[in-house]
C-alpha cells in the first residue's frame, strides 16, 4: 500500500505504563494540532475524555428527542382513536382524557427512547467496526491486560513518533491501513 492512496492512513501507537503519562502525551499531541486521537485501556479511567478532547456525548439528547417523540405519538394516537376515529362516550369522560393516556404515553416514550439510543449509537460510533488497523500490532494485545495505549491518526508519522518517545512511551509503532 502506498501513501498516495487516500484511503490508507498511518496510525502511530504508543504504549504507556500509567494512564497519567498517556493523558499528558495526549495533551501534548493535541497541542501540536493532531485531533484524531484514541485511547485504549484495560479499564475505564476518569479524565480520558478531557485529555483526548472528546466532546460531551449526544446520546442523552438523542434519548430525550426519541422519548418526547414517543410521548407525543402516543397522545396523538390515543386522542385520534378516542375523539375522531371511534368516538364513544364512556361515563361522560372527555375525549382527550390525559390520565387515561398516561400508560401508553409512558410505554411509547420508553420504547422510542430506547430505539433512538440503539440506532443513534450505531450511527454515532460507526458500528459495526469489525476490524481496525491498530489491531495488527502484536504488542497492542497488552491494551486489554495491563498497558495504556494512545493511537494517533496522521499523514506524517515520523515527527509524531519522536514526540511520543519524548513523552515517555515505552513502545512506539506505526501501523498503516484503512480505518
pLDDT 10s digits, 108-135: 999 999 999 999 999 998 888 888 888 8
Q: Look at strands 171-177 and 37-40 and give their pairing.
A: unpaired
Check residue 7 and give its pLDDT.
64
Residue 104 CB partners (closer than 8 Å, separation 6+): 74, 77, 78
Q: Give the domains, in start order, of the chain with CATH numbers.
A: 9-56+131-177 (3.30.70), 59-124 (no CATH)
Q: Is the peptide bond before 178 cis (omega within 30 degrees of 0)?
A: no
Check residue 156 and give its pLDDT.
87
Select from 81, 123, 129, 120 the least CA-distant residue to 104: 81
Each residue's pLDDT tens digit in the chain (179 positions)? 445 556 668 999 999 999 999 999 999 999 999 999 999 999 999 999 999 999 999 999 999 999 999 999 999 999 999 889 988 888 888 888 899 899 999 999 999 999 999 999 999 988 888 888 888 888 888 888 999 999 999 988 889 999 999 999 999 999 988 76
The rounded radius of gyration (Å) of the Cα atoms in the chain is 25
CB contact at 8 A, 117 and 65: no
Amino acid at each position: 500500500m502506498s501513501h498516495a492512496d487516500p484511503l490508507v492512513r498511518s496510525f502511530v501507537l504508543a504504549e504507556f505504563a500509567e494512564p497519567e503519562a498517556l493523558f499528558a502525551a495526549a495533551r501534548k499531541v493535541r497541542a501540536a494540532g493532531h485531533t484524531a486521537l484514541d485511547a485504549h485501556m484495560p479499564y475505564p479511567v476518569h479524565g480520558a475524555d478531557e485529555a483526548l478532547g472528546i466532546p460531551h456525548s449526544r446520546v442523552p439528547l438523542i434519548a430525550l428527542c426519541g422519548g418526547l417523540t414517543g410521548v407525543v405519538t402516543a397522545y396523538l394516537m390515543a386522542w385520534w382513536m378516542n375523539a375522531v376515529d371511534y368516538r364513544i362516550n364512556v361515563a361522560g369522560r372527555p375525549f382527550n382524557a390525559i390520565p387515561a393516556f398516561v400508560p401508553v404515553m409512558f410505554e411509547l416514550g420508553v420504547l422510542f427512547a430506547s430505539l433512538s439510543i440503539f440506532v443513534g449509537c450505531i450511527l454515532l460510533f460507526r458500528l459495526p467496526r469489525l476490524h481496525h488497523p491498530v489491531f495488527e500490532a502484536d504488542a497492542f494485545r497488552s491494551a486489554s491486560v495491563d498497558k495504556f495505549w494512545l493511537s494517533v491518526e496522521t499523514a506524517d508519522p515520523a515527527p509524531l513518533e519522536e514526540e511520543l518517545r519524548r513523552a515517555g512511551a515505552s513502545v512506539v509503532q506505526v501501523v498503516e491501513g484503512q480505518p
